[in-house]
Structure 1
């Protein structure tokens, strides 16, 4: 309902006031029976929404003994706007027309007057007056039903649009899963095989250790790829949890397996929200990956602290000792970390240090994410 429309109670009171004014204009104070009928018809309008037929019947005495028309016509309009039985509406309109046409008292009716031209015009006018609120009420009812029907159609179209979008998304997910399985997984498997061969045939310990690290990371990447392929192939048919999700308990293994010289310093409470733990883990993971890619030979320090409800994680590395090898990068890692932190109400800042290294800093409010 529009906010510009008056509330139903105020509208009913307005109709009652207009009906009282109409009765006051057509009934003298000394005519008590007519005044009571007019008052009854006006007050009965308060029941027009809950008991429309009863309200119309209570307004008929007003039309019979007075010339007031507001109460019976308002009651007839309300009955028509809420009722579908056209025979009932036609009968009520005819009853109102006849009662309004006949004089009161009925004993004063002269049968010869019905044949007079003026009375025929009067009867036609009365029938038209009775039919008008019925037609108007039916029109309002049809408009209301049409509005509801249009709302249902809009909802159905929106649902159809969502289903279509989900179908398109499912196809894209399935295609992406095939590409990951057929191309990416195959190439990572080849990397793992070649690294394994190098680990066996390497002539020095440093080469074999590097090959072992490459093979371990390749195997771990394959496992994650297989899990992601399974998630994508689910295609939204059922909720799929990306398990297992990392936590702060996995930081030690992450730092040890990073392939660089790194140390971990933590001072954390025992219980932290899972979302905060995952954010810290992914931030440290991305930072260590960047150190390995862009700062060869650098050492890194990972510090995770909790002070005054704020969890702070920093990853700082020293200056590189060797030139970095150009590797493909979409430059989306830091952007993704910043977006993840923003969703949790935190911030991510990064930049070079005075010693020639680089530092990434994550701050997250803990209590907000519980």
Structure 2
């Protein structure tokens, strides 16, 4: 395995770290406003911090997937929700590169990498989260295009300019007869509703209702009836990115906690001098280092053109759980000060919790791991 950081990657890491420093003070304000400012997205785009692994011919930087992960980790140190811009854009960008018509990809991908526009992804539905292979949303052919009916839930539902959505185009068993489409969200028959979420409020998660929404045939992504199989491959990449995203948030919280326990005294000694305080933090350092290596290895496998579905599932269930447990321990180590809402720890705890759900629950990820480890008839 080669995790060598070359000069180009280091440049992106340094730029992302600088952005993280700049955005951290306004983390709580973004939660209150429930939006990530467009000018912040554009700044990230100028620095090459949005989907840099995409082809330079389409606005990317021809970078490695590993570079993309390093960027996500650094930005999440300043605000986990801002790192969503990079992660969703990488996921959607790769979907469009592989499945969109050339003229559609050439139109939308530069907008994504520049930060000019957000494109969301609508796989889940209000009544079917983990059962994404059996959508109730439908698409029927009409007037040289398709008419969409149904509802999708997604991050950036309130702010995205377009969305990749999955709809049933023909009867079939679970995972079959599903087609993916790119839908501009200013079309007729579209209504947006905000979700009153516990955390990650700045990403504007919500529901988009499609009622008689027509799109042209050119907006179809990939082959008819094969959308679920084709597009789901991109989630292996985003799951590793999410792992590094939550690790970045947990790591900065841990660093703050070491500093706090080294300056706060009890019984005439620094808190960090007590084993009961220091040992849980030492365990947290170990767990985060292990989770980071797992995610980096997964991205290295992707860069090497090697299978990484099982490893990506490991990243997705274990890294968010580990990050949540670490931030929880840090909050407790701060005592009553950690419980205050004018400090960022409680917000980080809520934000990371959501990623134990979104993009695949732990139970689904463990099912993926089992089915890639033993014969399918022996797995759950």
Global fold match (TM > 0.5): no
TM-score by length of 2: 0.23
Find the structure with the greater CA-based Rg: 1
Considering Cα pairs closer than 8 Å and 6+ residues apart, tell me whether 1 or 2 has the greater RCO: 2
TM-score by length of 1: 0.24
